[in-house]
Structure formats: C-alpha cells, structure tokens
C-alpha cells in the first residue's frame, strides 16, 4: 500500500501546484452560491433548505469534473512519464486507485468549502440537517462516479481536450438516462423492462432520491458499483498501454 499512498500524495500535491485547482475551486464555489441565490431566488422562496444548492450539482460536475480528470492520464502520456510510472515497482491497480483517490479527495475539499452555506441556512431557519448531510454524501458519491468515468477516458488518449469532451459526453449519458424526456423518448420503441433498466443507470435519479432524504441501499450500491466498474475499466486500459 506504500505505492498507493505515494501516488496519492504525488497527485494531490500536483493539483495545488497548478492554477487548475484554484480555478476549479473558485468557479465551483461561485457557481454553487450564485445558482441557488440568484437563479432559484433563495430568499424569495421563504424556505430554509439547501435543495436549490444541491439541485445544480449534477450540472456543475458535468463540466467541472472532466476538467480535473482530463489530465490524470492524458498528460502522463503526452509528456512521456507514463512509461516511467509503469516501470516503478508499484502494481498498476495502485496507480489507478491512487490517482482516482487524489482527485476524489480534491473534489471533496471543494465540496467541504461550501459548508458555510449550511451554517447560513441554519442561522436563517431550521432545516432538516439529516437531509442536508445525506445530500452532501450523495454529492460526494456522484462526484466519485464522474471522476471514475473521466479518469478512465483520460487513459484512452494523450490529448486533454479529447479526454475532456469524451468525459462530458459519457457523463451526460449517465446523467440523462433517467431524465423524463429521455424516458418518454425511448418508451415508444423499447419494451418497458428495458426502459426501466435505462432509468436505473441515471446518476440524476439516484442523486435526487438521496437529496430528498431517501438514503436507500440501492443508491449506495449503484454509485459504488459505477465507481468500481470504471476503475476496473481504467485498469484494463492502462494495462493495455503497457503491452
């Protein structure tokens, strides 16, 4: 596990040595505050909760998370350090896990920096803090799902822009799978069991359930399975590059 820890520390420190980390945090914090207060009119609603805040997270992550993951493997390939990494006495799975956990930890730091909003909501009223805590957990798990997808796709190319676009496209598919317009579109030409299965793969559906305080085992299982699946796929892609 020493190799995993070494990769984790290297990647996490690497984020804060470039402007990307600070730009991400600033944009995320500004957008997280702007959308609930100005778009959803937080004060005009007359209700002290954080539902408007969390409702924007899937769409913020859709563009911001790929900006984090696009460099994970693509940059290593571009500058030629991937070959050096692969020669280290560290199992490939530890390289994959270390990079992913560092990115997830960084996303968690950005999410944690929004907690003053939680304090503000409690100052203004009496929200259901259990639902808010569950929503933070759901947001963190959803970020992990986006990160696992983006990391895997970053390993398929040496071009960061391509990795960025691919990650947005695939994450969009998983986000909109349970969207009502998508379900209505496919209901006309697919059997109902297939339509229901498509809906089960929606990040948005599972996240919405959690933000309503419905912390079911199936949602936790979905996010865990999604992350593990894409990490395993990431491992296979990196191993294929070794050959």
What contacts 199, CB < 8 A, 6 or more positions away?
Answer: 177, 178, 183, 205
Instruction: Count the Cβ atoms, other than its own, within 10 Å of residue 210.
Output: 23
Q: Residue-wise over 27-54: b if at least 16 C-beta within 10 A, else e?
A: ebbebbbebbeeeeebeeeeeebbbbbb
Q: Where are the domains of the chain?
A: 2-242
For residue 57, CA distances in Å to 111, 231, 241 come to 10, 22, 34
From first to last of its 243 residues, the chain has per-residue pLDDT tens of 777 888 898 888 888 887 878 888 888 888 887 777 666 666 556 666 788 888 888 888 998 899 889 888 888 787 777 777 777 778 888 889 999 999 999 999 999 999 888 888 888 778 888 888 999 999 999 999 999 999 999 988 888 999 999 999 999 888 887 666 666 666 666 676 766 666 677 888 888 888 887 777 888 999 999 999 999 999 999 888 765
Q: Can you state the percent helix, strand and coil of the chain, rounding each to 5?
A: 80, 0, 20
Structural tokens at position 179 = 């969207």
């Amino acid at each position: 596990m020493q190799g995993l820890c070494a990769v984790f520390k290297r990647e996490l420190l690497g984020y804060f040595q470039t402007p990307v980390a600070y730009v991400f945090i600033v944009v995320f914090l500004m957008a997280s505050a702007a959308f609930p207060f100005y778009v959803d009119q937080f004060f005009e609603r007359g209700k002290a909760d954080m539902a408007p805040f969390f409702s924007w997270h899937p769409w913020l992550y859709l563009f911001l998370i790929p900006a984090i993951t696009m460099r994970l493997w693509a940059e290593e390939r571009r500058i030629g350090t991937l070959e050096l990494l692969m020669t280290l006495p560290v199992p490939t799975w530890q390289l994959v896990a270390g990079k992913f956990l560092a990115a997830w930890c960084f996303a968690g730091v950005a999410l944690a920096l929004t907690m003053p909003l939680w304090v503000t909501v409690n100052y203004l009223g009496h929200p259901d803090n259990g639902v808010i805590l569950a929503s933070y957990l759901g947001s963190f798990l959803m970020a992990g799902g986006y990160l696992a997808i983006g990391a895997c796709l970053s390993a398929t190319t040496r071009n960061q822009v391509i990795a960025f676009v691919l990650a947005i496209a695939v994450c969009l598919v998983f986000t909109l799978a349970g969207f009502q317009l998508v379900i209505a579109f496919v209901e006309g030409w697919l059997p109902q069991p297939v339509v229901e299965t498509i809906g089960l793969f929606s990040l948005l559906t599972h996240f919405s359930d959690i933000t309503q305080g419905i912390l079911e085992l199936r949602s936790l299982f979905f996010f865990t399975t999604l992350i593990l699946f894409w990490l395993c796929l990431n491992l296979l892609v990196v191993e294929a590059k070794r050959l």
